[in-house]
Amino acid sequence: MRMRYVRNLSTGFRSRSATKGATSKPQPSSSSSNSLCLSELQEDFTLSSLKLKRLSDSDDSASGVFKHISSIFHAGKPVKQPDSEKIDGAKEFERVPNLSWLSSISQNNILLQRKEQSHKKKQKYVFEVTQENRFQKLVEVCGKMLGPEATLELFGKLGRETDVKGYNALVEMCIDKARQTDDEDIPIELGKVFNLFKSMREQGLELQEQTYRPLLLYIIDMHMVEEFQFFYVIIKEGNPSSVSRLGYYEMLLWLRVNNEEKIQGICNYIAENDSEDISHIRENYLLALCESERTEEILKLLEIIDIKNLSSVESVAVVFQALGRLILEPLAEKFLFYFKNSDHEAHNITNFIACYAVSIPNLSVEDVIKKFKDLHQRLEVSPSSSSYQKIILHSCALHKVHVALDIVKEMCEAGLTLSTDVLHSILQICDETSEYNLVHQIFFTICRYNLESNDETFRSMINLFLKMKDVEGAYKMLDDLEELNLKPTTWMYKCFREWMNLNQVKAVLV
């Protein structure tokens, strides 16, 4: 049976050796030796790879250029001006005879200067992004090698505090390890997460959902009710505004452990309290229920909650997905017409239709598309690129590549564009289903409708040609790159090399 440890959280988690023995007792942590307070870890050395010198913009200005050139043509002597007037570089040029060409020179200098400043700003942005990614990677590597607590201590000594992204990575490492470890070692990993949250609070960082979400989902999966209640308090103290969102995870927990009393208690509380103060927590309870099969409770809440007043279109989409999964078509149509009559954006309505249609269970792709088109016709709205792409991805998930390509052609004929990510999904399914010959149709569609593509697109298509043993067609793809202003990459040539090496090995074996 899994060992409980909640009472040990406030005084320090058990060490690995303590959890191994039945007679071992938890040892309280020493504040002088085990504290993770980063403000107390002061050292005089730094990590040079993390302390890079930042670029600075030039302080020159257009007026400075004018003054500089003007002083040159006046032998370094400033032109006398009344005290009440300020020197105007442009007027100075007008007073100099036969020097009209200087205006074009000065303008060119200004343009060059602006271009240089723009280049420096771009360099600074690239530098900052590169530095952040490098530091993030370093945190992840140290976390895997040293563990989260030692990583925090290391960077604290180096004078570099970990940011939110770094903490997120360390939390996910602990949860991944907890999923792979034995029951008796789970408290150790959760204890590390507790210390990470504690360190974030000491550093002044707020506990956001992206940080605590992996932990709560793991606790819910493992049916850890006491542990959830403990971390609920910790998260609420670290971010009081998270109470509404925590309601979503609370409902997921009671659904997971089938606690009927808690579920009904929450639903009754929502029904009896219709104030604006609990609107957000009411919405989060509804979103959690929409991930379940509890039709009765969902219908009960939808009678109370005005779906048009949900906080985001993403929340509304979740509701339509639930209506499709539970085959509640009359209610779905009622809400769709409600949005239509409320002059809601047509772009959102067509996405709601797609979310509903693709969620209907045991429906063939052809029937999903028919339902998709029928609802658009009844509501008198046109499909958008994003709603079409939902249907395409749904077709790919069911390995119906031919159907997906038909939808691509239909949306392109309607003047809509296809994203490269969806295009790559189609190519990936062609590879997985061994329908390599469809690469001809895909390439024709790209050229005919001038679809956006990149190096990865052509690398995938070259790979499909080679798997058909159509080397000539693959080489022709390299020539076609020039027409699209693209250049062959080493990855593309690597496809040829790997294919040739593989076939040489096969020839030897034969």
In this prediction, residue 42 carries a pLDDT of 33
Q: Flag whether pLDDT at 496 surpasses 80.
A: no
132 pLDDT tier (thresholds 50, 70, 90): low
Q: Of 180-184, 361-365, 453-457, 476-480, give the range with the top mean pLDDT.
A: 361-365
Mean pLDDT within 18-29:
39
Determine the average pLDDT of the residues in 265-271. 90
Average pLDDT over the chain reads: 76
**Number of domains forming the structure of the chain:** 1
Instruction: Say if 380 falls within a structural domain.
Output: no
The residue assigned the tokens 């779906």 is 307
pLDDT of residue 71: 41
Does position 8 have pLDDT exceeding 80, yes or no?
Answer: no
pLDDT at 101 over 60: no
* Domain annotation covers residue 458: no
Within a domain: residue 355? no
pLDDT for 282-331, tens place per residue?
Answer: 999 999 999 999 999 999 999 989 999 999 999 999 999 999 999 999 99
CA distance 496 to 469: 11
pLDDT at 123 over 90: no
Give percent of the chain above pLDDT 90: 46
Residue 78 scores a pLDDT above 60: no
Q: Categorize the per-residue pLDDT at 486 as very low, low, confident or very high, splitting at 50, 70 and 90.
A: low
Query: How far, rounded to the nearest angstrom, does the alpha carbon of residue 190 sit from its chain's CA centroid?
Result: 25
The set of residues, in sequence order, having a beta carbon less than 8 Å from that of 463 and lying 6+ positions away, is: 431, 495
Is 197 a member of any domain?
A: yes
Task: Write the CB contacts of 397 (distance below 8 Å, at least 6 apart in sequence).
Answer: none
Give the pLDDT band of residue 75 (cuts 50, 70, 90). Answer: very low
Secondary structure letter of residue 69 according to DSSP: H
Examine residue 187 and state whether it is found in any structural domain, yes or no. Answer: yes
Higher-confidence residue of 245 and 122: namely 245
From residue 419, give the alpha-carbon distance in Å to each of 61, 155, 457.
42, 41, 11
How would residue 48 be classed by pLDDT, with cut points 50, 70 and 90? very low
493 within domain boundaries: no
Is 3 inside a domain boundary? yes
Does the structure show a pLDDT above 80 at 136?
A: no
pLDDT for position 185 = 85
pLDDT at 389: 97
Compute the average pLDDT of residues 419-432: 95
Of residues 354, 407, 406, the one with CA closest to residue 381: 354
* Percent residues over pLDDT 70 in the chain: 63
Give the domain extent around 182: 1-12+127-203+210-223
Residue 150 within a domain: yes
Of 39-43, 464-468, 506-510, which has the strongest mean pLDDT? 464-468
